[in-house]
Amino acid sequence: MAENTGVKQTVKDSVFTDLFGHSKYLLQLYQSLHPEDTAVQENDLQKDT
């Protein structure tokens, strides 16, 4: 049986949301996932939440 460690699962989500809310880091994430797309710029990305 798993023991409850008291870790909030929303902490991981909030760190991800805050970090990739910045277009600079969002572009880096996109380029890591799609290295073949070299023409994309920061203003080309749209944040959908």
Q: What is the pLDDT of residue 49?
A: 66
Q: What is the pLDDT of residue 6?
A: 66
pLDDT digits (tens, 9 = 90+) for 1-49: 556 666 666 667 788 888 888 889 999 999 999 999 999 999 998 877 6
| One-letter amino acid of 36 | E
Residue of 9, 14, 18 whose CA lies nearest to 47: 18
Write the CA distances from 18 to 3, 14, 25, integer angstroms.
29, 6, 10
Q: What is the pLDDT of residue 16?
A: 82
Phi/psi of residue 40, nearest 5 degrees: -70, 140
- Per-residue DSSP letters for 2-45? -------THHHHHHHHHHTTSHHHHHHHHHHH-TT--S--GGG-
pLDDT digits (tens, 9 = 90+) for 11-24: 677 888 888 888 89
